Protein backbone atom coordinates (compact mmCIF):
# COMPACT_ATOMS: atom_id res chain seq x y z
CA UNK A 1 0.00 0.00 0.00
CA UNK A 2 1.28 3.46 -0.87
CA UNK A 3 0.16 6.93 0.11
CA UNK A 4 -1.80 8.45 -2.76
CA UNK A 5 -2.99 5.07 -3.96
CA UNK A 6 -6.48 5.18 -5.43
CA UNK A 7 -9.19 2.68 -4.57
CA UNK A 8 -12.38 2.11 -6.47
CA UNK A 9 -15.70 1.51 -4.79
CA UNK A 10 -15.72 -1.93 -3.15
CA UNK A 11 -12.12 -2.65 -4.12
CA UNK A 12 -10.21 -4.89 -1.73
CA UNK A 13 -6.63 -4.05 -0.87
CA UNK A 14 -4.27 -6.58 0.75
CA UNK A 15 -1.68 -5.00 3.04
CA UNK A 16 1.18 -7.21 4.09
CA UNK A 17 4.55 -7.05 5.84
CA UNK A 18 2.92 -5.60 8.93
CA UNK A 19 4.65 -5.77 12.31
CA UNK A 20 2.90 -6.53 15.60
CA UNK A 21 0.74 -3.72 17.01
CA UNK A 22 -1.87 -1.23 15.90
CA UNK A 23 -2.08 -0.43 12.20
CA UNK A 24 -4.19 2.53 11.05
CA UNK A 25 -5.28 3.69 7.62
CA UNK A 26 -6.88 6.98 6.64
CA UNK A 27 -8.75 7.23 3.35
CA UNK A 28 -10.22 10.27 1.65
CA UNK A 29 -13.24 10.18 -0.63
CA UNK A 30 -14.10 12.22 -3.69
CA UNK A 31 -15.75 14.86 -1.50
CA UNK A 32 -12.59 15.31 0.53
CA UNK A 33 -13.94 13.69 3.66
CA UNK A 34 -11.74 11.23 5.50
CA UNK A 35 -12.36 7.84 7.05
CA UNK A 36 -10.00 6.09 9.43
CA UNK A 37 -9.77 2.54 10.70
CA UNK A 38 -7.38 0.82 13.09
CA UNK A 39 -6.71 -2.86 13.51
CA UNK A 40 -4.45 -4.72 15.94
CA UNK A 41 -1.92 -7.08 14.40
CA UNK A 42 -1.37 -9.87 16.94
CA UNK A 43 1.32 -12.51 17.28
CA UNK A 44 0.18 -15.99 16.27
CA UNK A 45 -0.11 -18.79 18.77
CA UNK A 46 2.73 -21.16 19.57
CA UNK A 47 2.77 -23.84 16.85
CA UNK A 48 3.93 -26.50 19.34
CA UNK A 49 0.94 -28.53 20.40
CA UNK A 50 0.09 -31.75 22.16
CA UNK A 51 3.38 -31.87 23.99
CA UNK A 52 3.27 -35.11 25.92
CA UNK A 53 5.72 -37.27 27.81
CA UNK A 54 5.60 -40.70 29.24
CA UNK A 55 6.09 -40.67 32.98
CA UNK A 56 8.77 -41.89 35.29
CA UNK A 57 7.97 -45.00 37.16
CA UNK A 58 6.35 -44.32 40.50
CA UNK A 59 8.85 -44.01 43.26
CA UNK A 60 11.79 -43.27 40.97
CA UNK A 61 13.43 -39.89 40.53
CA UNK A 62 15.14 -40.53 37.20
CA UNK A 63 14.85 -42.69 34.14
CA UNK A 64 14.03 -42.71 30.44
CA UNK A 65 10.95 -41.11 29.00
CA UNK A 66 9.44 -40.53 25.59
CA UNK A 67 8.46 -37.03 24.48
CA UNK A 68 6.07 -36.37 21.62
CA UNK A 69 4.57 -33.24 20.09
CA UNK A 70 3.13 -31.93 16.89
CA UNK A 71 3.51 -28.64 15.06
CA UNK A 72 0.52 -26.62 13.88
CA UNK A 73 -0.35 -24.49 10.89
CA UNK A 74 -0.27 -21.05 12.49
CA UNK A 75 1.29 -18.84 9.82
CA UNK A 76 1.84 -18.95 6.07
CA UNK A 77 5.50 -17.91 6.53
CA UNK A 78 6.11 -21.00 8.64
CA UNK A 79 3.81 -23.74 7.38
CA UNK A 80 5.57 -26.04 4.94
CA UNK A 81 9.03 -24.81 5.92
CA UNK A 82 11.72 -26.73 7.78
CA UNK A 83 12.76 -26.21 11.36
CA UNK A 84 15.53 -27.30 13.64
CA UNK A 85 14.72 -28.42 17.12
CA UNK A 86 16.28 -29.45 20.37
CA UNK A 87 15.34 -30.53 23.84
CA UNK A 88 17.47 -29.27 26.68
CA UNK A 89 17.43 -29.20 30.45
CA UNK A 90 16.79 -25.59 31.43
CA UNK A 91 17.57 -26.14 35.08
CA UNK A 92 21.06 -27.47 34.44
CA UNK A 93 22.48 -24.02 33.77
CA UNK A 94 24.40 -25.23 30.75
CA UNK A 95 21.32 -25.67 28.55
CA UNK A 96 23.08 -28.61 27.00
CA UNK A 97 21.15 -30.36 24.27
CA UNK A 98 19.67 -33.72 25.13
CA UNK A 99 18.28 -34.28 21.68
CA UNK A 100 18.53 -32.35 18.41
CA UNK A 101 16.34 -32.96 15.39
CA UNK A 102 14.84 -31.39 12.29
CA UNK A 103 11.29 -31.29 11.02
CA UNK A 104 8.83 -29.62 8.71
CA UNK A 105 5.75 -27.66 9.75
CA UNK A 106 3.32 -29.34 10.21
CA UNK A 107 4.46 -32.69 11.57
CA UNK A 108 4.48 -34.99 14.57
CA UNK A 109 7.64 -36.15 16.33
CA UNK A 110 8.59 -38.57 19.08
CA UNK A 111 11.96 -38.48 20.87
CA UNK A 112 13.56 -40.59 23.56
CA UNK A 113 15.06 -38.78 26.53
CA UNK A 114 17.50 -40.80 28.53
CA UNK A 115 18.08 -40.46 32.24
CA UNK A 116 15.81 -37.50 32.94
CA UNK A 117 15.19 -36.48 36.51
CA UNK A 118 11.81 -35.78 38.03
CA UNK A 119 12.77 -32.37 39.39
CA UNK A 120 14.42 -31.01 36.24
CA UNK A 121 12.73 -28.70 33.75
CA UNK A 122 13.06 -29.73 30.13
CA UNK A 123 12.45 -27.35 27.26
CA UNK A 124 11.41 -28.18 23.73
CA UNK A 125 12.65 -25.52 21.33
CA UNK A 126 12.12 -25.29 17.59
CA UNK A 127 13.49 -22.61 15.29
CA UNK A 128 11.77 -21.99 11.98
CA UNK A 129 13.52 -20.96 8.78
CA UNK A 130 12.29 -17.39 9.13
CA UNK A 131 14.06 -17.11 12.49
CA UNK A 132 11.15 -17.61 14.87
CA UNK A 133 11.91 -19.52 18.05
CA UNK A 134 9.09 -21.38 19.75
CA UNK A 135 9.46 -23.11 23.08
CA UNK A 136 7.37 -25.24 25.33
CA UNK A 137 8.14 -26.65 28.77
CA UNK A 138 7.89 -30.34 29.40
CA UNK A 139 6.24 -31.44 32.60
CA UNK A 140 7.04 -35.01 33.50
CA UNK A 141 6.85 -34.72 37.26
CA UNK A 142 5.05 -36.89 39.73
CA UNK A 143 1.63 -37.08 38.13
CA UNK A 144 2.41 -40.68 37.41
CA UNK A 145 2.49 -41.43 41.12
CA UNK A 146 -0.92 -39.87 41.65
CA UNK A 147 -2.25 -41.64 38.59
CA UNK A 148 -0.77 -44.90 39.83
CA UNK A 149 -2.45 -44.49 43.19
CA UNK A 150 -5.79 -43.70 41.60
CA UNK A 151 -5.57 -46.69 39.34
CA UNK A 152 -4.48 -49.14 42.04
CA UNK A 153 -7.42 -51.29 43.10
CA UNK A 154 -8.21 -51.08 46.77
CA UNK A 155 -8.54 -54.43 48.45
CA UNK A 156 -10.75 -54.69 51.53
CA UNK A 157 -9.94 -57.47 53.91
CA UNK B 1 -32.24 21.60 7.05
CA UNK B 2 -34.42 24.69 6.81
CA UNK B 3 -36.07 25.78 3.58
CA UNK B 4 -37.88 29.06 3.17
CA UNK B 5 -39.44 30.82 0.20
CA UNK B 6 -41.43 33.85 -0.64
CA UNK B 7 -44.79 34.04 -2.28
CA UNK B 8 -46.64 37.26 -3.05
CA UNK B 9 -49.51 38.40 -0.79
CA UNK B 10 -52.46 36.32 0.31
CA UNK B 11 -52.50 33.03 2.08
CA UNK B 12 -51.39 29.74 0.58
CA UNK B 13 -51.54 26.05 1.10
CA UNK B 14 -48.23 24.19 0.80
CA UNK B 15 -48.18 20.56 -0.24
CA UNK B 16 -44.82 18.85 0.10
CA UNK B 17 -43.95 15.43 -1.26
CA UNK B 18 -42.04 14.89 1.99
CA UNK B 19 -43.64 15.89 5.24
CA UNK B 20 -41.69 18.63 7.04
CA UNK B 21 -40.72 17.92 10.63
CA UNK B 22 -41.86 21.43 11.53
CA UNK B 23 -43.49 24.42 9.88
CA UNK B 24 -43.39 28.12 10.71
CA UNK B 25 -45.35 30.17 8.19
CA UNK B 26 -43.53 29.73 4.93
CA UNK B 27 -40.51 28.15 6.59
CA UNK B 28 -40.26 24.38 6.58
CA UNK B 29 -37.77 22.14 8.29
CA UNK B 30 -36.81 18.73 6.92
CA UNK B 31 -34.60 16.03 8.32
CA UNK B 32 -33.84 13.75 5.36
CA UNK B 33 -31.74 10.62 5.92
CA UNK B 34 -31.08 10.06 2.24
CA UNK B 35 -30.53 12.24 -0.77
CA UNK B 36 -33.88 13.12 -2.27
CA UNK B 37 -35.81 15.62 -4.36
CA UNK B 38 -38.19 17.84 -2.46
CA UNK B 39 -41.19 19.17 -4.27
CA UNK B 40 -43.74 21.70 -3.09
CA UNK B 41 -46.95 22.79 -4.68
CA UNK B 42 -48.25 26.14 -3.53
CA UNK B 43 -51.93 26.73 -3.98
CA UNK B 44 -53.87 29.90 -3.26
CA UNK B 45 -55.95 29.38 -0.16
CA UNK B 46 -58.72 31.46 -1.59
CA UNK B 47 -58.63 30.48 -5.23
CA UNK B 48 -58.37 26.77 -6.00
CA UNK B 49 -58.11 27.32 -9.74
CA UNK B 50 -55.26 25.40 -11.35
CA UNK B 51 -53.69 28.56 -12.64
CA UNK B 52 -53.43 29.83 -9.08
CA UNK B 53 -50.86 27.25 -8.06
CA UNK B 54 -47.21 26.70 -8.69
CA UNK B 55 -44.68 23.91 -8.16
CA UNK B 56 -41.01 24.07 -7.24
CA UNK B 57 -38.44 21.31 -6.78
CA UNK B 58 -35.05 21.18 -5.15
CA UNK B 59 -32.50 18.36 -5.02
CA UNK B 60 -31.30 17.66 -1.52
CA UNK B 61 -28.11 15.68 -1.19
CA UNK B 62 -27.40 14.09 2.11
CA UNK B 63 -23.70 13.58 2.44
CA UNK B 64 -23.06 9.84 2.36
CA UNK B 65 -20.91 7.95 4.79
CA UNK B 66 -18.50 5.29 3.65
CA UNK B 67 -17.91 1.83 5.00
CA UNK B 68 -14.25 1.16 5.68
CA UNK B 69 -13.47 -2.34 6.89
CA UNK B 70 -10.17 -3.96 7.76
CA UNK B 71 -9.96 -7.68 8.43
CA UNK B 72 -7.03 -9.56 9.89
CA UNK B 73 -5.74 -12.25 7.52
CA UNK B 74 -2.92 -13.35 9.80
CA UNK B 75 -0.80 -11.92 12.59
CA UNK B 76 2.97 -11.93 12.85
CA UNK B 77 4.70 -15.28 13.08
CA UNK B 78 6.70 -14.19 16.15
CA UNK B 79 8.19 -11.18 17.89
CA UNK B 80 10.25 -8.90 15.63
CA UNK B 81 8.76 -10.34 12.46
CA UNK B 82 6.85 -8.09 10.06
CA UNK B 83 4.73 -10.63 8.25
CA UNK B 84 1.23 -9.72 9.37
CA UNK B 85 -1.43 -9.25 6.75
CA UNK B 86 -4.81 -7.51 6.60
CA UNK B 87 -7.38 -6.85 3.92
CA UNK B 88 -9.03 -3.48 3.50
CA UNK B 89 -12.19 -2.68 1.58
CA UNK B 90 -14.02 0.60 1.30
CA UNK B 91 -17.39 1.26 -0.24
CA UNK B 92 -19.49 4.36 -0.57
CA UNK B 93 -22.24 5.99 -2.55
CA UNK B 94 -22.25 5.27 -6.24
CA UNK B 95 -24.72 5.44 -9.10
CA UNK B 96 -27.30 7.50 -7.23
CA UNK B 97 -27.14 10.46 -9.59
CA UNK B 98 -25.04 12.42 -7.15
CA UNK B 99 -21.27 12.68 -7.09
CA UNK B 100 -19.75 9.23 -6.52
CA UNK B 101 -17.56 8.89 -3.46
CA UNK B 102 -15.01 6.88 -5.39
CA UNK B 103 -12.26 7.02 -6.28
CA UNK B 104 -10.97 6.91 -2.74
CA UNK B 105 -7.40 7.79 -1.91
CA UNK B 106 -5.10 6.49 0.77
CA UNK B 107 -3.79 9.59 2.50
CA UNK B 108 -2.14 8.13 5.60
CA UNK B 109 -1.04 4.87 7.16
CA UNK B 110 0.38 4.46 10.64
CA UNK B 111 2.43 1.36 11.25
CA UNK B 112 3.28 -0.09 14.65
CA UNK B 113 6.64 1.08 15.94
- pLDDT tens-digit map of B96-105: 777 788 999 9
Strand partners, B55: B41
Does the ipTM exceed 0.90? no
Is the pLDDT reported for residue A116 higher than 70? yes
Helix (H/G/I), strand (E/B), else coil: A93: coil
Mean pLDDT of A103-120: 91
pLDDT for residue B76: 97
* CA nearest neighbour of B4 among B34, B35, B26: B26
Is residue A22 less than 8 Å (CB to CB) from chain B?
Answer: yes
How many angstroms separate the most distant Cα atoms in chain B? 82
Contacts with A, B 78-97, CB within 8 Å: 78-79, 81-92, 94
Chain B hits for A75, Cβ within 8 Å: 74-77, 83
- The pairing of beta strand B12-16 with beta strand B36-44: antiparallel
For chain A, helix, strand, coil in percent to 5 are 10, 50, 40
Strand B22-24 versus strand B53-60 pairing type: unpaired
Nearest residue of B to residue A127 by CA position?
A: B78
Phi then psi for A143, rounded to 5 degrees? -60, -30
Q: Hey, where are the domains in chain A?
A: 48-145
Among chain A residues, the shortest Cα distance to B95 is held by: A9
Which residues in chain B have their CB less than 8 angstroms from residue A12's CB? Answer: 87-89
Q: What angle do CA B95, B97, B103 make, to 5 degrees?
A: 50
B102 interfacial to chain A (CB closer than 8 Å): yes
Out of B77, B78, B90, closest to residue A27 by CB:
B90
B8-48 pLDDT, tens per residue?
A: 667 889 999 999 999 988 889 988 877 788 999 999 888 88
Q: Residue A142: its pLDDT value, please? A: 41
> What CATH number does the domain located at A48-145 have?
2.60.40.10
Indicate the range of A49-63, A64-78, A122-136, B5-19 predicted with least confidence: B5-19
* Secondary structure E strands in B1-113: 2-4, 12-16, 22-24, 27-29, 36-44, 53-60, 67-74, 84-91, 104-110
Amino acid sequence: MTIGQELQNGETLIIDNLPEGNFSVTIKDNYGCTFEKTIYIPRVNNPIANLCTTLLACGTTSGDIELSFRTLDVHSAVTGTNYTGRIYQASSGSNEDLVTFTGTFTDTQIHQLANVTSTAIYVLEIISENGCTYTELSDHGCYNCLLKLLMTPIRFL
Amino acid sequence: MLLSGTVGGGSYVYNWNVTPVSTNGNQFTFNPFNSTQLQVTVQSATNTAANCSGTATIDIEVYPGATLNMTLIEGVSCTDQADGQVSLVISGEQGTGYVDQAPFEVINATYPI
